[in-house]
Amino acid sequence: MNEIQNVSLIGLGAIGAAYASRLYDLDPTCIRVVADDERIARYQTRPVVVNGRGYEFTYVSPRADTEAADLVIIAVKYDGLAQALVDIRRHVGPDTIILSLLNGISSEEMIAQIYGEKNLLYAMCVAIDAVRNDSAVAFSSIGRICFGELKNETYSRNVQLVKELFDRAEIPYEIPVDMQRTMWWKFMINVGVNQTSAVLRAPYGVFQTVDEAHELMARAMQEVILISERAGIHLTQADLQAFDAILADLAPDGKTSMLQDIEAGRKTEVEYLAGKVRELGKQYGVATPVNDMLYPLIRAIEAMNA
């Protein structure tokens, strides 16, 4: 493969649709969306609209015979990940690069268990404020995709190929030297702002203006910083402040993905945020009282929503 020519994406939600639209704008034939028959029927009846423009993607059923993709992008949530990993089976060949945009630090491990680590890149997106309302996705900032191997002092062939694709599609990106640390930094952010926004039902504006909301968010993040020290990742207060700079630029009425889940009555990703913090806290002997409280609170809100 000299360049990435065909991309398969699974998960046409807030994040998936935002980045799929950029690939479609580059070349409508370079992107296929993997979806079961029920979803395909829905997308064909009500095409996905991104920032006011309708997109008629090429949809492929997981059962359809198809050639392997050069790149598979996974943009489902954790509750859909196990099924998505089955559904992409026919799109993954020996050279297919796999990139997961899920939050948290668990999805790559789950993907590697099935598809191995050879062509798996680490990834996450940040500073995107995409909101999904049924089939309509809107964002004022597309943010950037941070991706790479765990370490990127030099770029591997796969990193170079994805970099070139993102350049062509005008998808903003960053290739951190220490991708593992960057994944933990994003994990810290989501543990803080996603979970407290879900409990408080607070859009970003609340964290920009109400000190107590910001403090609650920061206290949840501190527990990740403490664990990261023991795990050899070494997040610092400067990492927390780096998120404040991002937060200041997010639309005040924008909402985290977890708040969107709560409002839509969907399952959240709490097991992979507070749940993971509690697991790591036990492993490294770090107390996690804030996440111990957030976990049952969010599970209770989910149950009340069901």
Ligand X SMILES: NC(=O)C1=CN([C@@H]2O[C@H](COP(=O)(O)OP(=O)(O)OC[C@H]3O[C@@H](n4cnc5c(N)ncnc54)[C@H](OP(=O)(O)O)[C@@H]3O)[C@@H](O)[C@H]2O)C=CC1
Ligand Y SMILES: CC(C)(CO)C(=O)C(=O)O
**202 sits near ligand X (criterion: CB under 6 A):** no
The sheet with strand 58-60 has its strands ordered as 58-60, 31-34, 7-10, 71-74, 97-100, 120-128, 142-148, 173-174
Q: Which of residues 237-256 bind ligand Y (CB under 6 A)?
A: 256
**291 sits near ligand Y (criterion: CB under 6 A):** no
- Our CB check for ligand Y shows the closer of 143 and 281 to be 143
Which of 21, 55, 69, 77 is the binder for ligand X (CB under 6 A)? 77
138: left (phi over 0), alpha (psi -120 to 50) or beta: beta
Q: Which string of x and - marks every residue 112-141 that binds ligand Y (by CB under 6 A)?
A: --------------xxx-------------
Q: Are 235 and 288 in contact (CB under 8 A)?
A: no
Q: Are 121 and 97 in contact (CB under 8 A)?
A: yes
Which of 22, 25, 47, 80 is the binder for ligand X (CB under 6 A)? 80
Neighbours of 49 (CB within 10 A): 17
**23 sits near ligand X (criterion: CB under 6 A):** no
Q: Which residue has the tokens 């964002």?
A: 139
Give me the least distance between CB of 141 and ligand X, in Å please.
Answer: 10
- Partner in contact with 283, chosen from ligand Y, ligand X, none, beta carbon below 5 to 8 Å by kind: none
The alpha helices in the chain, defined as continuous H runs, are 14-26, 37-45, 78-87, 107-115, 157-169, 179-189, 195-200, 204-209, 211-230, 237-249, 257-263, 274-284, 289-305
Give me the least distance between CB of 19 and ligand Y, in Å please.
Answer: 13
- Partner in contact with 48, chosen from ligand Y, ligand X, none, beta carbon below 5 to 8 Å by kind: none
Binding site for ligand X (CB under 6 A): 10-16, 34-36, 39, 75-77, 80, 83-84, 87, 101-103, 125, 128, 130, 132, 257, 269
Binding site for ligand Y (CB under 6 A): 103, 126-128, 143, 189-190, 193-194, 256-257
